[in-house]
Copies of this chain bind each other. A is one copy, B any other.
Amino acid sequence: MKITLEKPEKLYHFYPTTVALVAAKYRDKENAMAAAWHTALSTDPPLYGVALSPKRLTYELIKEAREFSVNFLLFEQLDKLHGMGKVSGRDVDKFSKFPLGKDEGVRIDSPIIREAYASYECLLEDEIDCGDHTLFVGRIVIIHYEEDFFQEGRLRTDLVKPILYLGSDNYITTREESHIKLA
Protein backbone atom coordinates (compact mmCIF):
# COMPACT_ATOMS: atom_id res chain seq x y z
CA MET A 1 0.00 0.00 0.00
CA LYS A 2 1.23 3.45 -0.80
CA ILE A 3 1.66 5.81 2.13
CA THR A 4 1.52 9.59 1.81
CA LEU A 5 3.41 11.62 4.40
CA GLU A 6 3.66 15.35 4.85
CA LYS A 7 6.85 15.38 6.83
CA PRO A 8 9.62 12.82 6.61
CA GLU A 9 11.27 11.52 9.73
CA LYS A 10 14.24 10.34 7.72
CA LEU A 11 15.40 11.02 4.18
CA TYR A 12 16.51 7.50 3.31
CA HIS A 13 14.21 6.81 0.35
CA PHE A 14 16.78 7.78 -2.25
CA TYR A 15 19.47 5.47 -0.93
CA PRO A 16 21.59 3.46 -1.74
CA THR A 17 24.42 5.72 -2.76
CA THR A 18 28.18 5.52 -2.45
CA VAL A 19 29.67 7.11 0.64
CA ALA A 20 32.12 9.98 0.23
CA LEU A 21 34.93 10.11 2.74
CA VAL A 22 35.45 13.87 2.96
CA ALA A 23 38.78 15.04 4.37
CA ALA A 24 40.13 18.48 5.17
CA LYS A 25 43.08 20.05 6.97
CA TYR A 26 43.48 23.49 8.46
CA ARG A 27 46.78 24.37 10.09
CA ASP A 28 47.68 21.36 12.28
CA LYS A 29 44.19 19.92 12.48
CA GLU A 30 42.96 17.37 9.99
CA ASN A 31 39.89 15.19 9.88
CA ALA A 32 37.81 12.94 7.66
CA MET A 33 34.12 12.04 7.77
CA ALA A 34 31.74 9.77 5.91
CA ALA A 35 29.10 11.70 3.96
CA ALA A 36 26.17 10.18 2.09
CA TRP A 37 24.85 13.48 0.71
CA HIS A 38 27.10 14.25 -2.22
CA THR A 39 26.86 14.59 -5.99
CA ALA A 40 28.60 15.92 -9.06
CA LEU A 41 27.23 19.34 -10.03
CA SER A 42 29.00 20.27 -13.28
CA THR A 43 31.27 18.64 -15.85
CA ASP A 44 32.92 21.79 -17.24
CA PRO A 45 34.13 23.24 -14.95
CA PRO A 46 34.20 20.06 -12.87
CA LEU A 47 32.29 20.80 -9.66
CA TYR A 48 31.44 18.47 -6.81
CA GLY A 49 29.05 19.10 -3.93
CA VAL A 50 29.04 17.70 -0.39
CA ALA A 51 26.33 18.66 2.10
CA LEU A 52 27.62 18.77 5.69
CA SER A 53 26.08 19.70 9.00
CA PRO A 54 27.64 22.71 10.74
CA LYS A 55 28.00 20.48 13.80
CA ARG A 56 30.82 18.59 12.13
CA LEU A 57 34.49 19.34 12.69
CA THR A 58 35.10 18.76 8.99
CA TYR A 59 32.61 21.55 8.26
CA GLU A 60 34.72 23.97 10.29
CA LEU A 61 37.96 22.81 8.68
CA ILE A 62 36.58 23.27 5.14
CA LYS A 63 35.30 26.74 6.07
CA GLU A 64 38.81 27.74 7.09
CA ALA A 65 40.93 25.75 4.67
CA ARG A 66 38.74 26.54 1.62
CA GLU A 67 39.52 23.09 0.22
CA PHE A 68 38.72 19.41 0.78
CA SER A 69 39.20 15.97 -0.68
CA VAL A 70 36.49 13.46 -1.59
CA ASN A 71 37.49 9.79 -1.44
CA PHE A 72 35.79 6.52 -2.34
CA LEU A 73 36.64 3.28 -0.56
CA LEU A 74 36.16 -0.42 -1.23
CA PHE A 75 33.48 -2.47 0.49
CA GLU A 76 36.33 -4.44 2.11
CA GLN A 77 37.34 -1.19 3.83
CA LEU A 78 33.86 -0.55 5.23
CA ASP A 79 34.91 -1.00 8.88
CA LYS A 80 37.38 1.85 8.62
CA LEU A 81 34.96 4.15 6.86
CA HIS A 82 32.11 3.36 9.22
CA GLY A 83 34.32 3.76 12.27
CA MET A 84 35.37 7.19 11.05
CA GLY A 85 31.75 8.17 10.93
CA LYS A 86 31.00 7.07 14.49
CA VAL A 87 33.48 9.22 16.37
CA SER A 88 34.24 12.92 16.26
CA GLY A 89 37.59 14.33 15.24
CA ARG A 90 37.15 16.64 18.20
CA ASP A 91 37.65 13.68 20.54
CA VAL A 92 40.16 11.54 18.68
CA ASP A 93 42.68 11.81 15.89
CA LYS A 94 40.82 9.64 13.40
CA PHE A 95 43.88 9.01 11.28
CA SER A 96 45.67 7.52 14.30
CA LYS A 97 42.64 5.53 15.46
CA PHE A 98 41.77 4.10 12.06
CA PRO A 99 44.76 2.93 10.08
CA LEU A 100 44.03 4.61 6.77
CA GLY A 101 46.99 5.90 4.81
CA LYS A 102 47.29 9.54 3.81
CA ASP A 103 48.93 10.95 0.76
CA GLU A 104 49.76 14.56 0.14
CA GLY A 105 47.60 16.32 -2.38
CA VAL A 106 49.04 17.73 -5.57
CA ARG A 107 47.13 20.99 -5.30
CA ILE A 108 45.70 20.92 -1.77
CA ASP A 109 47.07 20.39 1.76
CA SER A 110 44.10 18.27 2.86
CA PRO A 111 44.82 14.55 3.11
CA ILE A 112 44.13 12.19 0.22
CA ILE A 113 43.13 8.74 1.47
CA ARG A 114 45.74 6.32 0.16
CA GLU A 115 43.43 3.28 0.09
CA ALA A 116 40.76 5.10 -1.93
CA TYR A 117 40.15 3.80 -5.45
CA ALA A 118 39.24 7.36 -6.49
CA SER A 119 39.83 10.77 -4.90
CA TYR A 120 39.00 14.32 -5.91
CA GLU A 121 41.08 17.29 -4.80
CA CYS A 122 38.66 20.21 -4.49
CA LEU A 123 39.10 23.94 -4.04
CA LEU A 124 36.10 25.50 -2.33
CA GLU A 125 34.21 27.46 -4.94
CA ASP A 126 30.99 28.22 -3.09
CA GLU A 127 29.13 27.39 0.11
CA ILE A 128 25.37 27.38 0.08
CA ASP A 129 23.29 27.20 3.25
CA CYS A 130 20.52 24.63 2.73
CA GLY A 131 18.37 24.23 5.83
CA ASP A 132 20.31 22.33 8.48
CA HIS A 133 23.25 21.57 6.17
CA THR A 134 25.68 23.57 4.05
CA LEU A 135 26.46 22.51 0.51
CA PHE A 136 30.16 22.94 -0.13
CA VAL A 137 30.75 23.28 -3.86
CA GLY A 138 34.28 22.25 -4.74
CA ARG A 139 36.10 22.71 -8.01
CA ILE A 140 37.84 19.45 -8.80
CA VAL A 141 41.42 20.36 -9.63
CA ILE A 142 42.99 16.91 -9.45
CA ILE A 143 41.56 13.39 -9.77
CA HIS A 144 43.36 10.30 -8.52
CA TYR A 145 42.08 6.86 -9.45
CA GLU A 146 43.22 3.26 -9.66
CA GLU A 147 43.73 2.71 -13.35
CA ASP A 148 42.89 -1.00 -13.20
CA PHE A 149 39.56 -0.36 -11.49
CA PHE A 150 38.10 1.83 -14.23
CA GLN A 151 37.26 1.27 -17.85
CA GLU A 152 36.29 4.21 -20.03
CA GLY A 153 35.86 6.19 -16.84
CA ARG A 154 33.40 3.68 -15.37
CA LEU A 155 33.97 1.66 -12.22
CA ARG A 156 34.74 -1.99 -13.04
CA THR A 157 32.18 -3.57 -10.76
CA ASP A 158 33.50 -6.99 -11.79
CA LEU A 159 36.68 -6.13 -9.87
CA VAL A 160 35.56 -3.50 -7.39
CA LYS A 161 32.80 -3.61 -4.82
CA PRO A 162 31.80 -0.09 -3.83
CA ILE A 163 30.38 0.85 -0.42
CA LEU A 164 26.70 1.73 -0.69
CA TYR A 165 24.79 3.32 2.17
CA LEU A 166 21.19 2.44 3.03
CA GLY A 167 20.68 4.57 6.15
CA SER A 168 20.91 3.79 9.90
CA ASP A 169 24.33 2.11 9.72
CA ASN A 170 23.19 -0.30 6.98
CA TYR A 171 25.41 -0.94 3.98
CA ILE A 172 25.32 -3.05 0.86
CA THR A 173 27.25 -3.54 -2.38
CA THR A 174 26.58 -4.42 -6.00
CA ARG A 175 25.58 -7.66 -7.71
CA GLU A 176 27.77 -8.06 -10.79
CA GLU A 177 25.37 -10.56 -12.40
CA SER A 178 22.82 -7.74 -12.69
CA HIS A 179 25.21 -5.42 -14.54
CA ILE A 180 23.67 -4.37 -17.84
CA LYS A 181 24.58 -1.97 -20.61
CA LEU A 182 21.57 -0.63 -22.48
CA ALA A 183 21.63 0.79 -25.98
Contacts and interface: CB of A to CB of B under 8 A. Distances in A.
Interface of A: 1-18, 20, 37-49, 51, 70, 72, 75, 78-79, 82, 106, 118, 120, 126, 128, 130-133, 135, 137, 140-148, 150, 152-155, 157, 161-162, 164, 166-176, 178-183
A87 to B, nearest CB: 13
Given A12-B153, A46-B7, A153-B12, A147 B1 contact: yes
Nearest to A7: B46
A76 to B, nearest CB: 11
Given A44-B131, A154-B166, A155-B166, 19 more contacts: A2-B144, A5-B144, A8-B43, A8-B143, A9-B153, A11-B43, A13-B143, A13-B153, A14-B48, A16-B18, A16-B155, A17-B39, A37-B39, A39-B49, A78-B180, A130-B137, A154-B170, A170-B179, A174-B174
18 contacts: A3-B146, A5-B143, A5-B145, A6-B141, A8-B140, A13-B143, A16-B174, A37-B40, A37-B41, A42-B131, A42-B132, A45-B131, A49-B49, A164-B174, A171-B182, A172-B178, A172-B180, A173-B175
